Structure 1
């Protein structure tokens, strides 16, 4: 769940969402550019935007049949996890100390808690990154925590952290955990972790609670190339980042500028439903604007770079909201870093390692497809990446990817199934997947298809979906289903 527009040389293009009509309420006001430190009005409003009406939908009066389109985004699960994250960035940015506290109410009995250690993926470690857990406890208390290798780099503790519970915790009961860890950031890393010059950045840095309601623990192996392979629920999340006083922090939840306190400053934010978070710190030059109801904060190494990107993200928010519904979060925080790569999306935030229009639209589209409508990035990665690529084609009116739907490889393939075939993963998941969606739209009829996708987004907000959920949304469009079956997206 985070998505990443990695290796632009490998991926033909990068995109970002779908549909064709949603809000008419999104328009922009003039930008006010400044160095943050004097913007007390930028404090984030907590919570996802779960209540706005989705244009073109009808009120259901409590009916739940699939033929009725919800008038509003579904609300987050009241039993979602509660997570508090605290990161302390060391001077020089080479290491980050973290503490994570979790309150978890499972929907089936559990005897342990399982967390995914994304930073220990082989390509991440090869670039100097990694995570090391220094303590982990749970309530009800069980034995000592342990690790599973899960295809992590051999020099690490492993890819999965397992904390045993002292007894079986029944469905609906609460288990808690407290984990302390240290994150190492590699220099000039092409990854979601790293440091470049005077800047540091990290996402998926904390141990990720690997639970899916209705499924259980996701214990899939880490993968052999740079991409996503995690599954995590939208959690009520508090974020606290302590950084050197000279740094500006750009992070999920758009934390407000704090007062300087000695040699450090502490930035805080709250997200009512977030699957993950990202953090960037350094001498950012920041612009704060609004696009309708959405606060947009964009930080970059220079005013020139910042000012070139602000219009692109304003446009992306406006165009995607018009197609899919209101922007899912009260704010979007974008960090443009002095590194080369693509972009990596997180709920309410984006790490940009590239300044192109394609990446801007693609990553913004992931706020709908991944951040709000979640998926298992290990088992069904096309449910966010193909949709994000396809959205880019709609917004930018570029020709659809010419991937042959008869080309080898089923679109609905797991990340593990590719082994080390990075090129095959990106071609099949991104290019063939988005081509299948575009051809299905033409076969079904754009108006009907777009309406069905808007309903799919609204009905599945803050959930983890699977291909059956998408198929149900287009059940009345057999011509579109036939195209997706041909591509191996629907089995």
Structure 2
């Protein structure tokens, strides 16, 4: 996500264990798949229907329950309604007790009715004029790992989300004169998305254009009325170039399509990434940064609450490289706060979040490139992405990959740059 300077202070979050412990066991539930059928009101603001989530118990012990995250309720209850399960805490968590404990390796599913109404705010999940946006709105499975279930709060800045790659089949039916761009590729009325971490969509009378990049990826734009044709053209061209460039650097973009949704009226963010689907402010859209997130979070996943730098620093660094900006001298020296702090800390220190996680994090990666050399850095990032394709990484994973790629002893570098 690329943020504006305007930030909201959010309530204190749950504490989490050090990220170095997060992947001691595979995350569970594993191999999730979502089948969703929703019908929208003619204006596209409210969608209701049925959702079925299938999953495998990838833990070493039986699983008696699962939890579903209703992120859309994080800024006010009632926008996401689920019939079934037991609502917990702040209306962003629903517990589903299984009929019998799911043994390791077994697979089952849960189903529930769901109703989503875009709240009256110009946000990633919200309403802007005639247009509705459903980012982080669809209920998704919470993740359980060695430290337990991750039910951390959305801190109101950046992202606090933690999901594993899943398959989605989503039917969005409506009778209105509206367009409904979404994650995935729509065939016969069903949007199919393979191995993605979330599913987002928008609804409204957008005007649309498309182009195919030289590398073969279709870039579709969906614009609200006040977005100029020049802004659309610029965003589409930047996205197509970035998709091909990052594909060469980090591994080919695995989907056939990327949808850009441009609006001129957002005030709390300038860009927000979802798999194959990006929300952008216009003009001055941070297109390349959000496209970079298709790799750094979308493909190479991380616990965004525990380790926000693992996607934001990498997306910022990738944008710099795309723009041939090597940020010489940008590292300020010893930092008073480590860039590796979690979102609980940054939610309480929101004015420092962008500087440390985005700017200093990317500066650290530029410093690493200068230390080990550009060819080695390029090979490192390509091999790191390949090894963790559609997986979940921790800081220890990146440090291990970097040391394996370089003959330079990196221990002093990590100490100097506060990477524990």
Query: TM-score if structure 1 supplies the norm length?
Result: 0.74
Query: In structure 1, which of residues 119, 131, 147 is the aligned counterpart of residue 87 of structure 2?
Result: 147
Deviations 1:47-66 (A, max 9, x none): xxxxxxxxxxxxxxxxxxxx
User: Following superposition of structure 1 onto structure 2, how do residues 75-474 of structure 1 map, counting pairs within 5 Å?
Assistant: 80-108=31-59, 109-121=62-74, 124-125=75-76, 130-136=78-84, 145-149=85-89, 152=90, 158-189=91-122, 191-211=123-143, 217-223=149-155, 225-255=156-186, 267-291=189-213, 292-302=215-225, 304=229, 305-340=231-266, 341-356=269-284, 359-398=286-325, 400=327, 402-474=330-402
Q: Displacement, 1:405? A: 4.2
The Cα of 1:366 is off from its aligned counterpart by 0.6
User: 1:79 Cα shift?
Assistant: 5.8
Aligned residues: 390
- Runs ≥4 in structure 1, deviation > 6 angstroms? none
Q: CA distance change for structure 1 residues 443 and 212 in 2, over 3 Å: closer, same or farther? A: farther
Unmatched runs of 5 consecutive residues or more in structure 2: 8-27
Task: Check the 8 A contact 2:157/2:347 in 1, yes or no.
Answer: no
Q: Structure 1: 5+ residue runs without aligned partners?
A: 11-76, 137-144, 153-157, 259-266
- Residues 348 and 132 from structure 1, CA distance in 2 versus in 1: closer, same or farther, beyond 3 angstroms? closer
CA distance in 2, matches of 1:296, 1:454: 23
Structure with greater contact order relative to length (CA < 8 Å, sep ≥ 6): 1
Aligned 8 A contact 1:133 1:179 in 2: no
Aligned to 2:12: none
- Deviation at residue 7 of structure 1 after TM alignment: 1.9
Distance (whole Å) between structure 2 residues aligned to residue 216 and residue 237 of structure 1: 25
Q: Distance in 2 between matches of 1:360 and 1:484?
A: 31
Q: Deviations over 1:177-219 (max 9, x none)?
A: 1122222323342x31111121111111122211256665312
Q: Give 1:436 deviation, angstroms.
A: 0.8
Secondary structure of the residue that 1:449 maps to in structure 2? Answer: helix
CA–CA separation in structure 2 for the residues paired with 1:351 and 1:407: 32
SS in structure 2 at match of 1:7: coil
Give a deviation string over 1:2-32, Cα, whole Å, max 9, x none: xx2222567xxxxxxxxxxxxxxxxxxxxxx
Distance verdict in 2 for CA 1:97–1:448, change over 3 Å: same
SS in 1 for 2:192: strand
RMSD: 2.5
CA distance in 2, matches of 1:405, 1:368: 29
Q: Secondary structure at the match of 1:475?
A: helix
> Pairwise mapping of residues 31-50 of structure 1 onto structure 2 (< 5 A)?
none
> For the residues of structure 2 that align with 1:133 and 1:194, how far apart are their CA atoms?
15
Task: Classify the secondary structure of the residue corresponding to 2:377.
Answer: helix
- Judged with a 3 Å threshold, the aligned counterparts in structure 2 of structure 1 residues 319 and 9 are, in CA distance, closer, same or farther, namely farther
